[in-house]
Amino acid sequence: MTVHDTTPVHHKAIGSFKAIFQTFDDLADGAAGPGRLAALRAELARHGCDAYVVPRADAHQNEYVPPCEERLAFLTGFTGSAGTLVVLPTQAALFVDGRYTLQAPAQVDTGAFTVVPLSQLRPDKWIEAHLPRGARLGYDPWRTTLDGREKLAQAVATAGGILAPLEADPVAAIWPDRPPPPKAPIRLLDLAVAGEDTAAKLRQVQEKLTADKLDGALVSDPHGAAWLFNMRGADVAHTPLPLAWCIVPAEGVPDLFVEHTKLSHEVRAALAGHARLHGVSDLDRMLGAFAKGRKVRLDQATAPVRLAGVIEAAGGTVDKGADPIALLKAHKNPAEIAGMRAAHVRDGVALARFLAWFDREAPSGRLTEIDAVEALETFRRGTGQLTDVSFPTIAGAGENGAIVHYRVTRSTNRTIHPGELFLLDSGAQYPDGTTDITRTLAVGRPSEEMRRHYTLVLKGHLALTRAVFPQGINGAQLDPLARQHLWAAGLDFDHGTGHGVGAGLSVHEGPARISQLGHVALGEGMILSNEPGFYRTGAYGIRIENLILVERREVEGAEKPCLGFATLTLVPYDRRLIDLSLLDGAERAQVDAYHATVAAALAGDLDAAERNWLLAATAPL
């Protein structure tokens, strides 16, 4: 709400809410795609290239990138957070994962761009089949990882083509109104929130480098630098991230590369106590000087080919492997866990107020998707501590709920009608933690089919929550727990069951995840999402998501240390959508126990009407 608005947020009427951390404008112009594609081909010809690969990435492989790095959206109109465009002389293919198979064709000109689901074909295999023999395929060495280059090289060799790095950016050359680079100021975390100072964190990183017989590491993921130096920024949307690079030696003082204009005198002085500070333009020179005669770790998932070339040209050795900070960062310390718990109580209160309002307003048939998004953000701002949303809210009514990463715009906005399902996936950034929660809501009376599918999803969600497993088990091994009841009914969903979540950082954090690709062992202090779903194209979508914390579990007679999950999210499930005939006694007890926890945590911060709604929503099944 605005500074001068004294109306209690829960008494506001439809239309009196406001979103300030997200927009509903169409962020890209799909109609301009064919013209921009032709301009790119002309620019490529100037560089002697026949084809080009455009990843949806910046030099750090961030999920959220600054506006000046939105090349894929500029060229095609596709605004998803992951994708790859391959441009050939007469064809252009946009590759997207299962989240975007409905969104991408709706946003791009399909006469110019062929949308290819990754589940059907990968870009490298498509290149093998379609690149003309002898053609030169260019790639951007700043935005291509070491693994990415290897796949391209193999595909181009199979096709009989030539792989050519282009130092000049052909997309920038045809983008006359490209936004400037971000220069948001950097702030430092209080130690009570961070839990460990930079000196302690640096010792952990350097111990790992020494154990791996490395001379140092280039930290290319800005989340790693943010964690190591307990700093935050605002260079990308929805993640308090300062764009930075860092060289960490196995012994001695690190070098931190960040634009000087982002540093106040106070922040500069504090950081200078832990690292030598440089501008980003000094990275090439300093990395080359450090690498000479040394073995340097580069993160295979985020490090650009360009910097591998700097190390090798200086006489250094590139050690391709995992970022040494990523796993350390994933294991949250007690202060970070306490902050995440506090953030989830605060967020749960905002969600309870929103849901009480939604139940009152939605059956009228006057509420739109944008109304709901604006209301939810306003309720969160009402906590007085919201710093951003952790991603653009997914608010899909009816058939829009079947678009896994649907983003409502003014052109797609629709009214929420009685008899529909409303899928609401949202999150918040607070000073002490990050949240991510999905609830599927019934508007009016749901159909029996809706209730059956919702309950099958809920059963998988509950099964994963109560899992107990020996240390060393990974997310791929746990993923089937969330799918088993859907599989038994011949159903499934095309996204991972869970992703890692940062503590006051990215809502999507590696290296652990719960999916068929999750091969990192889960460990104490990791926080992940638990979000199975089901999507009926053209009708509705269902997803249920809580954040879960990996904790120790005492198991009598266990031969290995055991782990389990504690739920952080505090928001009721929609009881109207639960088919009790499909739940067994243990599952009913589990839902009742969770609802009792939610009521106890939130009721004291609600007014009488909101408390009455919460008590009804969390009543025993």
pLDDT tens profile 502-515 = 999 999 999 999 99
**Cα–Cα distance measured from residue 136 to residue 533, given in angstroms and rounded to the nearest whole number:** 42
Q: Does 372 map to a domain?
A: yes
Residue 313 CA to residue 299 CA, distance in Å, equals 18
Cβ-based neighbours of 549, under 8 Å, separated by 6 or more: 332, 337, 340, 525, 526, 527, 565, 566, 567, 568
* pLDDT attached to residue 519: 96
Do 193 and 257 sit in the same domain of this protein? yes
Structure tokens given for 621 = 């099944």
The region, left, alpha or beta by phi > 0 then psi within -120 to 50, assigned to residue 398 is left
Do 435 and 525 fall within a single domain?
yes
Tell whether 251 and 394 lie within a shared domain: no
How does pLDDT run across 280-335, given as a tens digit for each residue? 999 999 999 999 999 999 998 899 999 999 999 999 999 999 999 999 999 999 99
What does the DSSP assignment read for 124-172? HHHHHHHSPTT-EEEE-TTS-BHHHHHHHHHHHHHHT-EEEE-SS-HHH
Strand ranges across the sheet with 216-219: 276-278, 255-257, 245-249, 216-219, 295-299, 317-321
Do 200 and 261 belong to one domain?
yes
Number of H helices, E strands in the chain: 19, 28
Tokens of 541: 């979508």
Which residue has 């030598």 as its token pair?
276
**Does 477 share its domain with 364?**
yes
Share of the chain above pLDDT 70, in %: 98
Residue 114 sits in the same domain as residue 200? no
Identify the domain boundary among 122, 140, 173.
173
Write out pLDDT tens, residues 2-35. 333 446 676 777 778 999 999 998 777 889 999 9
- CB 540, CB 404: distance < 8 Å: no
Instruction: Give the integer Cα–Cα distance in Å for 370 and 414.
Output: 8
Same domain, 427 and 500: yes
pLDDT in tens, 224-268: 999 999 999 999 999 999 999 999 999 999 999 999 999 999 999
CA 391 to chain CA mean position, Å: 7
From 309, 329, 349, give the residue that closes a domain: 329
* Residue type at 140 in one-letter notation: D
Last residue of a domain, one of 298, 329, 360: 329
Mean pLDDT to the nearest integer, 603-612: 97
Whether 15 maps to a domain, the answer reads no
Regarding whether 111 and 83 lie in a shared domain, the answer is yes
Domain membership flag for residue 24:
no
pLDDT band at 102 (very low <50, low <70, confident <90, very high): confident
- Residue 221: CA atoms inside 13 Å, Cβ hemisphere, count? 23
Q: Which two tokens stand for residue 165?
A: 């790095």
pLDDT at 536: 97
Answer whether residue 144 shows pLDDT above 70: yes
Does residue 154 lie within any of the structural domains? Answer: yes
Considering the domain architecture, whether residues 132 and 68 belong to the same structural domain is answered as yes
**In whole angstroms, what is the distance from residue 163 CA to residue 52 CA?**
10
78, 72 in Cβ contact below 8 A? Answer: yes
The pLDDT value recorded for residue 389 is 98
Asked if 243 and 322 sit in the same domain, the reply is yes
Kindly state whether residues 129 and 207 are assigned to the same domain: no
* Eight-class DSSP state of 398: G
User: Nearest-CA neighbor of 349 among 1, 602, 611, 10?
Assistant: 602
For 131-142, what is each residue's pLDDT tens digit?
A: 999 999 999 999
**DSSP character for 603?**
G
Residue 564: left (phi > 0), alpha (psi -120 to 50), or beta? Answer: beta
Print the domain residue range for 384.
331-617
Q: Does 563 fall in a domain?
A: yes
CB 315 within 8 A of CB 293: yes
- How much is the pLDDT for 7? 61
At 366, list the tokens: 């006057």
**φ, ψ for residue 489 (rounded to 5)?**
-100, 10
Averaged pLDDT for residues 352-366: 96
- DSSP string over 197-241: -HHHHHHHHHHHHHHTT-SEEEE--HHHHHHHTTEE--SBTTB--
Mean pLDDT of 412-437: 97
- Gap between the Cα atoms of 195 and 338, Å rounded: 10
Round to whole Å and give the CA distance between 59 and 66: 11
Q: For the domain that residue 225 is a member of, what is the CATH number?
A: 3.40.350.10
Closest by CA position to 237, among listed 429, 371, 489, 518 = 429
Predicted pLDDT at 1: 32
> Taking the C-alpha atoms of 210, 216, 221 and 225 in order, what is their torsion angle to the nearest 10 degrees?
80
pLDDT score at 25: 86
CATH number at residue 409: 3.90.230.10
As a whole number of angstroms, the distance between CA 206 and CA 215 comes to 9
Q: What is the mean pLDDT of residues 401-408?
A: 92
**Cα(516)–Cα(509) distance, rounded to whole angstroms?**
16
Counting the structural domains of the chain, the total is 3
State whether 487 and 554 are in the same domain: yes
